[in-house]
Amino acid sequence: MKSNQFDAIVVGSGISGGWAAKELCEKGLKTLVLERGRDVQHLKDYPTMTAAPWEMPHRNHIPSADKLENPVVNKCYAYKEDTQHFFVKDSEHPYVQKKPFDWVRGYQVGGKSLIWARQTQRWSKFDFEGPGRDGFAVDWPIRYDDVAPWYSYVERFVGISGSYEGLETLPDGEFLKAWEMNCVEKEIQQRIKSAYEDRNVIIGRCAHLTEPKEIHLEQGRGQCMARNQCYRGCPFGGYFSSNSSTLPTAAKTGNLTIRPDSVVHSLIYDEQKGKVTGVRVVDRITKESSEYFATVIFLNAAALNTNLILMNSTSKRFPNGLGNDSGVLGKYIAFHNYRGSINANYEGFDDKYYFGRRPTAVMMPNFRNVHQQEMDFMRGYMTFYSAGRAGAGHADVPLGAELKEANSKPGPWSVYMMMQGETIPKETNRVSLSSDQQDEWGVPLLQINVGYDENDEKIIRDFHQQGEEMLTKAGCVNIRIWDSQQSPGLDIHEMGGVRMGRDPNTSMLNGFNQMHLAPNVFVTDGACMTSTGTQNPSITYMALTARAVDYAVKEMKKGNIG
């Protein structure tokens, strides 16, 4: 037991787990990070980071047999031959779909921080005030001003590119040089701006180093090269990941221990002491069980796995899952609605092109139900668009000089627009544990019962109508709307189940991500979210994690946790 004793344990090594490890280690705590997947070290374990297509057996395509065996992960836009080693195979990690749900996972040191889309927008005051104002879920126990300094803290370390806009709906942050729009995107921006007073079109904000500062160079990271091969692992450290940033920083303190191949079974609740004392682990390879102990525990296993661990952490005191006297554990799961998209063409600008492969799109903050409820649906959606020219090599002409000439020129301009809609957390959208099915490590399979509702359908229809109208006014032609009908989960933004709130009778966590009924346990990944907002959530997870660690360590020093 003594050799397995630490000051802090972090479950998970992804975006929020990496931040928890960094902050705990830098504050002097001997910290154990438990990761259920294999070890992945920066540079050393990026096997395809510089590979050419012809160096891959299937030229960066997935064989048909893999598509048949792993239908869920094959739907993910980032899953290809050069990235498949960073994704969970459906066949190896099954789950139960009560309703269709595409659960995309990355089990390795670094988690999904190696394969995320890297879009980072702060929430606005309207997002934190939304549930209380509009009467859904429960009121957030925090507001924008509580998180704002922590947004700044993590943004400076991560490195966020963006432009200063002064928008109330999308607060500015600590930005590096912004990426640029191309000529067609600027034209669309100006026409939308002229046609609407409430539509703010700006360049996207993303975790890419356009101009590395000293704080980034100290991490060993360099400038983003706009290669568009981010999901392979970046050899330059140009984008933020746990592997290139937070975990190496934690390791430099001498306080970090990482144990990969550690499947967390449950948290240990000591009935006599009346508190959580540690974590039960099953070795992924040997299947041997072990226990690790700590004063404080941070759960960062990603939203649905964090729910699973807490539901499986039963005791005489908590027969329905750790801290679950309220019965809300596993309920009120929400996600982002990505079903709506629009394609169009743009005529002109045939003498213009652009340089590099920009890692972000043009975006428009939500303009629906912002200051008050005014539509026949609740909440709203962010809008993203990008314009580009079809790549050379697709001209359908005879062989010979004509073919060579035609395929050496870029094609016409096209425009793609998509939505990112807020969904309303509902009690019926929930996860639970299977009573008769377990994985090979003896952990019950997760049952997922999450779906769309009429509010989601109305948001899709509004996006299609408004998007088509905006693109028409912007000068686009041949506009085609599209509903992908994709299942929830493919957005990879699942949130909730262990939500924050003011009242222990209706929530699991307080305003510092601390469990109401297990005060030495903190949850700062997507499971903690009370609502989803319309923005990408990752920078909020990071800010909440840094804030929670600061609070936890102060409470430990006061003797309130221990």
Instruction: Give the up-direction half-sphere exposure of residue 428: CA atoms within 13 A in the CB hemisphere.
Output: 6
Segment 27-36 mean pLDDT: 98
**Among candidate residues 427, 374, 309, the one with its CA nearest the CA of residue 133:** 374
Instruction: Give the up-direction half-sphere exposure of residue 550: CA atoms within 13 A in the CB hemisphere.
Output: 13
- The domain segmentation of the chain, as residue ranges, is 1-49+62-162+204-337+491-561, 176-201+339-423+452-486
- DSSP lists the bridge partners of residue 279 as 267, 292
> What was the pLDDT predicted at 41?
97
> What was the pLDDT predicted at 390?
79
> What was the pLDDT predicted at 392?
61
Residues 6+ apart with CB under 8 A from 530: 131, 137, 138, 139, 140, 425, 496, 499, 500, 501, 507
CA dihedral over 546, 552, 555, 556, signed as positive or negative? negative
Q: Which tokens in the block code for residue 224?
A: 């983003």
DSSP state of 495: B
Q: Which tokens in the block code for residue 283?
A: 């070795």
Q: Cα-flanking dihedrals φ and ψ of residue 514, to 5°?
A: -95, 135
**Among candidate residues 129, 131, 109, the one with its CA nearest the CA of residue 15:** 109
- DSSP lists the bridge partners of residue 299 as 11, 523
Q: Provide the residue count of the chain.
A: 562
Q: Give percent of the chain with pLDDT exceeding 70.
A: 99
For residues 347 and 505, is the Cβ–Cβ distance under 8 A? no
- DSSP lists the bridge partners of residue 270 as 275
Residue type, 203: I
pLDDT tens-digit readout, 528-554: 999 999 999 999 999 999 999 999 999
Q: What does the alpha-carbon distance between residue 84 and residue 108 come to, in Å, rounded to a whole number? A: 12
Residue type, 33: V
Q: Cα-flanking dihedrals φ and ψ of residue 433, to 5°?
A: -100, 140
Q: What does the alpha-carbon distance between residue 225 and residue 290 come to, in Å, rounded to a whole number? A: 44
E strand intervals along 42-192? 96-97, 160-161, 175-176
Residue type, 458: K
* Topology annotation, domain 1-49+62-162+204-337+491-561: FAD/NAD(P)-binding domain (3.50.50)
Q: What does the alpha-carbon distance between residue 471 and residue 468 come to, in Å, rounded to a whole number? A: 5
Residues 6+ apart with CB under 8 A from 180: 203, 358
Q: What does the alpha-carbon distance between residue 11 and residue 349 come to, in Å, rounded to a whole number? A: 51
pLDDT tens-digit readout, 138-184: 999 999 999 999 999 999 999 999 999 999 999 999 999 999 999 99
> What was the pLDDT predicted at 259?
98
pLDDT tens-digit readout, 226-278: 999 999 999 999 999 999 999 999 999 999 999 999 999 999 999 999 999 99
Instruction: Give the up-direction half-sphere exposure of residue 236: CA atoms within 13 A in the CB hemisphere.
Output: 17
pLDDT tens-digit readout, 417-449: 999 999 999 999 999 999 999 999 999 999 999
> What was the pLDDT predicted at 405?
77
Segment 389-410 mean pLDDT: 75
- DSSP lists the bridge partners of residue 257 as 32
pLDDT tens-digit readout, 77-122: 999 999 999 999 999 999 999 999 999 999 999 999 999 999 999 9
Residue 140, Cα to own-chain centre: how many angstroms? Answer: 20
> What was the pLDDT predicted at 35?
98
The DSSP-derived string for 278-297 is: EEEEEETTT--EEEEEEEEE
Q: What does the alpha-carbon distance between residue 333 and residue 48 come to, in Å, rounded to a whole number? A: 35
Q: What does the alpha-carbon distance between residue 226 and residue 459 come to, in Å, rounded to a whole number? A: 33
E strand intervals along 20-163? 31-34, 96-97, 160-161
pLDDT band at 302 (very low <50, low <70, confident <90, very high): very high
> What was the pLDDT predicted at 394?
60
- DSSP lists the bridge partners of residue 179 as none
Model pTM?
A: 0.97
The DSSP-derived string for 111-154 is: GGGGT---B--PPPHHHHHHHHHHT-S---S--HHHHHHHHHHH
Mean pLDDT of the chain: 96
Evaluate if residue 410 carries a pLDDT over 90.
Answer: no
> What was the pLDDT predicted at 1?
54
Q: Give percent of the chain with pLDDT exceeding 90.
A: 94
Q: What does the alpha-carbon distance between residue 521 and residue 501 come to, in Å, rounded to a whole number? A: 15
**Among candidate residues 375, 380, 377, 366, the one with its CA nearest the CA of residue 337:** 380
Residue 511 CB neighbours (<10 A):
16
In three-state secondary structure terms, 430 is strand
Residue type, 407: N
